[in-house]
Amino acid sequence: MRETFLPFAPPMIGEEEIAEVVDTLRSGWLTTGPKTRQFAEEFSAYTQAPAALTVNSCTAALHLSLVALGVTTGDEVITTPLTFAASVNVIEHVGARPVLVDVEPDTLNIDPKKVEQAITPATKAIIAVHYAGHPVELDAIRDIADRHKLHLIEDAAHAIGASYKGQPIGSGSNPTCFSFYATKNLTTGEGGMLTGDEELVDKARTLSLHGMSREAWSRYSAGGKWAYDIVAPGFKNNMTDMQAALGLQQLRRFESMQARRREIIGQYQAAFGNDAAFQTPVHRDHVTHAWHLYVLRLNESELTINRNQFIEEINARNIGTSVHFIPIHIHSFYAKKYNWKPEDLPVALSNYNRMLSLPLSPRMTNNDVADVINAVQDVNAKARRKRMAG
């Protein structure tokens, strides 16, 4: 057993990031400024996005998208139950009603067939979440959105570096929202990015900083003018240059970090892929998986313990784990407000009850990966259900 605890998703921060942050501190410009602008430009180029806006979180990007698109009280927004609460909270914040539809049993992404069935005259938008980094079936979702004249928002918090049929996630004209939280494939500590067509991004830019007609960089830099106008009751969603400094260097070595993630995934798949006690993640041929998460599902008919007990045993072996996610419809606020029952979304519920996320970070050494595999296999061996011969 490991002598020290292995965190679930330790960030990989190197001397390059430290030097870039120090350069920012010495520059005299700490908040939204030249480095946030540069980060947005480089991220836009990487994702082949029409335009990009740095913000302080993926949550902010989702909220700004809904506001910029005019989603409001009386509207309905279809999304998945298998996501973090932020994806649905923002629907509440604009006064709309979330409509949850179940997920595909293999990818755990939103099921396009069930999306179509959930549309009503009040439906205004779809928020499609690329679960764990595996893209949703975008062709089907886009077709539904186009035919019913709905807005499509992509929650790409897990999907930096993913692609669908050769097109990077974020390259479309519709709003796509990325996260740079500490556990993400690319981190700025906290932070996010909104990509989409220029008109929408420009509107979101104004909304993201109090509704001001001009940002601080254009007012306080050399030659800047002090005057501005409030053109909308906006928010405080801007990213700082200190955060963008991290992002710039993370983006420049992003491909090497992704390569390491894929190496770890390969070791996990080889260790668990042929074991009847486990269901390992899928990877459809027409996508590039970002591998933000490695979600292992237990086949509890093979085991004498349940998922929660399995996690306890793993943690007792000094291995950090998590669960992604507690379905939205069983959280108390949403269950009470909309009278949702756990069994309303059976695919999400049944998979939640048997899933755990294993440690995944490019910072992990081969010894770390081996420790995770050994811990899982040890718990599995001790908890394996005995089969009668003959």
- Three-state SS across 147-178? HCCCEEEEECCCCCCCEECCEECCCCCCCEEE
Token pair belonging to 213: 């007609």
Same domain, 235 and 271: no
Same domain, 237 and 263: no
209 within 8 A of 32, measured Cβ to Cβ = yes
Q: Is residue 310 part of a domain?
A: yes
Q: Is residue 289 part of a domain?
A: yes
pTM for this structure?
0.96
The reported pLDDT for the residue numbered 390 is 47
Same domain, 186 and 98: yes
Segment 68-76 shows an average pLDDT of: 98
Q: What is the CATH number of the domain that holds 60?
A: 3.40.640.10
Q: Is residue 325 part of a domain?
A: yes
Residue span of the structural domain in which 376 resides: 254-383
Q: Which of 190, 220, 252 lies at the terminal end of a domain, its last residue? A: 252
Same domain, 66 and 119: yes
Q: Which of 205, 226, 252 lies at the terminal end of a domain, its last residue? A: 252
Number of domains present in the structure of the chain: 2
Tell me the pLDDT of the chain averaged across its residues. Answer: 95
Burial class (CB in 10 A: 0-12, 13-18, 19+), 243: buried
Segment 162-186 shows an average pLDDT of: 98
Residue 181 has pLDDT above 70, yes or no: yes
Same domain, 192 and 321: no
Q: Amino acid letter at 69? A: L
The reported pLDDT for the residue numbered 228 is 85
Segment 87-108 shows an average pLDDT of: 98
165 is catalytic: no
Return all residues near 15 (Cβ < 8 A) that are at least 6 apart: none
Same domain, 243 and 343: no
Same domain, 132 and 219: yes
The reported pLDDT for the residue numbered 309 is 98
Please name which of 165, 167, 166, 137 lies closest in space to residue 152, comparing C-alpha atoms. Answer: 137
Residue 378 has pLDDT above 60, yes or no: yes
DSSP 61-85: HHHHHHHHTT--TT-EEEE-SSS-T
The reported pLDDT for the residue numbered 226 is 72
DSSP 233-268: ---B-PPPHHHHHHHHHHHHTHHHHHHHHHHHHHHH
Between CA 107 and CA 349 the distance in angstroms is 14
The reported pLDDT for the residue numbered 387 is 61
Token pair belonging to 64: 């700004």
Give the pLDDT confidence of 245-287 residue by residue, as tens digits.
Answer: 999 999 999 999 999 999 999 999 999 999 999 999 999 999 9
Between CA 205 and CA 211 the distance in angstroms is 8
CB atoms within 10 A of CB 57: 19
Catalytic pick among 149, 184, 203, 386 = 184
Q: Is residue 4 part of a domain?
A: no
Q: Is residue 6 part of a domain?
A: no
Segment 30-59 shows an average pLDDT of: 97
* CA angle at 263 for the pair 262 and 269, rounded to the nearest 5°: 85
Helix (H) or strand (E) holding 298: strand 295-298
Same domain, 25 and 165: yes
- My answer on whether omega of the bond before 325 falls inside 30° of 0, hence cis, is yes
Same domain, 168 and 296: no
Please name every residue paired with 103 in a beta bridge, in sequence order, or none if there are none.
110
Q: Is residue 226 part of a domain?
A: yes
Q: Is residue 213 part of a domain?
A: yes
Residue 196 has pLDDT above 70, yes or no: yes
Same domain, 270 and 150: no
Same domain, 236 and 334: no
Q: Is residue 2 part of a domain?
A: no
Between CA 238 and CA 252 the distance in angstroms is 22
Give the pLDDT confidence of 143-161 residue by residue, as tens digits.
Answer: 999 999 999 999 999 999 9
Give the pLDDT confidence of 313-352 residue by residue, as tens digits.
Answer: 999 999 999 999 999 999 999 999 999 999 999 999 999 9
Same domain, 150 and 164: yes
Q: Which of 252, 280, 315 lies at the terminal end of a domain, its last residue? A: 252
Three-state DSSP class for residue 293:
coil
